[in-house]
Amino acid sequence: MNIDSVQNGIVLDHIKAGACMQIYKYLKLDQLDCQVAIIKNAKSSKMGKKDIIKIDSPIDIDLDVLGYIDPDITVDIIKDGHLVEKKHLALPQKLVNVIHCKNPRCITTDEKQLDAIFLLSDPEKRTYRCAYCEAERKSHR
């Protein structure tokens, strides 16, 4: 299989195998007017199998979304065909409008204009709590 290299854009690497479509959805990559390559189940000496997303356009990526989905993802910034920066992610301390509260009594259920805010409560368990009602949500992984 031959997939062209990115000249100016972003490569999302070390994605847990099978998670690339979730990232595609969360980052709204379907709305881009550029080439996006999704590589599923690529061989990896470190992970066994992994997914990779290549975006051939310099765009802003929401690192909080990526960190929430999988903080082990690396973000490679490519310019003129060369790697110029490699970003390592972490679980974000605060998520705004990334996930929504499932508590039917939460104020965000009735007040749709309010931002859905979640704060990291337990990094080891990857648990977040709603800033309004304290309902718990776990990270994807």
Please tell me the predicted confidence (pLDDT) of residue 46: 85
Please tell me the predicted confidence (pLDDT) of residue 134: 95
pTM for the full model?
0.80
Name the CATH topology of 9-88. Alpha-Beta Plaits (3.30.70)
Secondary structure in 3-state letters for the chain: CCCCCCCCEEEEEEEECCCHHHHHHHCCHHHCCCCEEEEEEEEECCCEEEEEEEECCCCCCCHHHHHHHCCCCEEEEEECCEEEEEEECCCCCEEECCCCCCCCCCHHHHCCCCCCEEEEEECCCCEEEECCCCCEEECCC
Please tell me the predicted confidence (pLDDT) of residue 140: 63
Q: Where are the domains of the chain?
A: 9-88, 94-136
Determine contact, residues 131/118, Cβ cutoff 8 Å: yes
Please tell me the predicted confidence (pLDDT) of residue 110: 86
Nearest Cα neighbor of 72 from 97, 47, 41, 37 is 47
Q: Does domain 94-136 have CATH number 2.30.30?
A: yes
pLDDT tens, N- to C-terminus, the chain (141 residues)? 556 788 899 999 999 998 899 889 888 888 888 889 999 988 888 889 999 999 998 888 888 888 988 888 999 999 998 999 999 999 999 999 988 999 999 999 888 899 999 999 999 999 999 999 999 988 765
